[in-house]
Amino acid sequence: MIDEASLNLECSLVQTIEGPSNVFFVGEIKGAYASRQCLENGRLSPLKADFLLLTMPDNTYWSLGESVGQAWHIGKQLITK
């Protein structure tokens, strides 16, 4: 475990995919461990965890913002009849 990490994921390797310039590792999550500072009402709070995300190929780091809606519900507002 990485003590400084807000979230640690225990994974097993499922597949290795070799690309033209990278190797991708596909894993299955076996366990998740979060620091107490990242919990809210016993659940992981993405904002408290302060995740850092990397997008490629632009190699840009991102942080998370506020919630924009509940999955599988907000899309119903976009359906036109």
Rounded to whole angstroms, the Cα distance separating 62 from 47 reads 13
Q: Is the pLDDT of residue 41 over 60?
A: yes
Kindly report the CATH number assigned to the domain that includes residue 41: 2.30.110.10
Looking at the structure of the chain, the number of domains it has is 1
Residue 1 domain-assigned (yes or no): no
Q: What is the mean pLDDT of the chain?
A: 88
Could you tell me the residue range of the domain that residue 39 belongs to? Answer: 7-78
The pLDDT value recorded for residue 23 is 95
The pLDDT value recorded for residue 20 is 94
Q: Is the pLDDT of residue 80 over 70?
A: no
The more confident residue out of 52 and 26 is 26
Residue 66 domain-assigned (yes or no): yes
Rounded to whole angstroms, the Cα distance separating 54 from 22 reads 15
Average pLDDT of span 63-79: 78
Residue 2 domain-assigned (yes or no): no
